[in-house]
Amino acid sequence: MTYFLYFCTLSHVKNRIVITLFIIVITVFVSIAAFRNRQLMNQLIFYPPAVRQGQGYRLFTYGFLHADYMHLLFNMFTFYLFGSEIERVWQAILGKKVGSIAFIVLYASAIVISILPTYRHERDNDHYFGLGASGAVSAVVFAYVLINPMSYMGIMFIPIWFPAFLFGFMFIAISVYLDKKQARGINHLAHVAGGIYGILFTVIVFLAFADINLLRSFIDQIHIHSIGDLIRFGY
């Protein structure tokens, strides 16, 4: 366990975040192109009736589209923060080749997996459209939570911080609640599906390729000695 945590801390010294930056560049390029070309947007967006009619590629391409520049900026900024750390750690622990491939597979497959519950629910809805990398980004964020449960996380511009494991549980609970309320037109179900998939994928990969039980590591790292370990304020 000490060996594992040591590399989690120092991996940034040895590995560059090529894959993270490449995904960001591709996503930004496709999103901006779709902003300027409505026909391209219509061809790539998640639209259940079109998927049902054989355009299965939309289950993947929607993840490179965004509603506007703020949506794009928020998703890519979040992905940069957590994706860069996951890429470094995975390469350090799993080896550069296996870690890189696993990271690519996680992100690409999470785009598809995270939208499947939505497709099942909306497959006959002619008025439903979906886009955004949020499901895949959630998978990466929760992979980070699994590896670093006691690092502190919060919401941008709000000076309240929770340990990652608690923030993760709160995020899932709130997303499930908001999904039932169909709040603000955001696909909260994709966030939940992506997060859960990110955890399962990471557990399996580390067990298969590094013989590391991340669930045990997750539990072993959680130490709560005071209320200060559960919530912090300020920047």
Q: pLDDT band at 10, cuts 50/70/90?
A: very low
Contact between 105 and 39 (Cβ < 8 Å): no
Whether residue 3 is predicted with pLDDT greater than 80 in this model: the reply is: no
Q: Note the pLDDT of residue 183.
A: 55
Distances (CA, A) of 180 to 28, 130, 177, 185, 219: 31, 17, 5, 12, 30
Which residue in this structure is represented by tokens 């928020």? Answer: 74
Q: What is the mean pLDDT of residues 45-73?
A: 96
Which residue in this structure is represented by tokens 């580390």? Answer: 206
Q: Note the pLDDT of residue 34.
A: 97
Whether residue 134 is predicted with pLDDT greater than 90 in this model: the reply is: yes
Rounded to the nearest 5 degrees, what angle is found at the Cα of 116, between the Cα atoms of 148 and 44?
105
**Which amino acid makes up residue 49?**
P
Whether residue 1 is predicted with pLDDT greater than 70 in this model: the reply is: no
Residue 7 corresponds to which tokens in the numbers above? Answer: 């590399």
Q: What is the mean pLDDT of residues 156-168?
A: 87
The enclosing H or E element of 176 equals helix 164-181
Q: What is the mean pLDDT of residues 162-167?
A: 92
Distance CA 192, CA 213 (A): 23
Domains, the chain, in order of start with CATH, read 2-233 (1.20.1540.10)
Q: Any idea which of 9-18, 87-96, 110-119, 202-211 has the lowest mean pLDDT?
A: 9-18
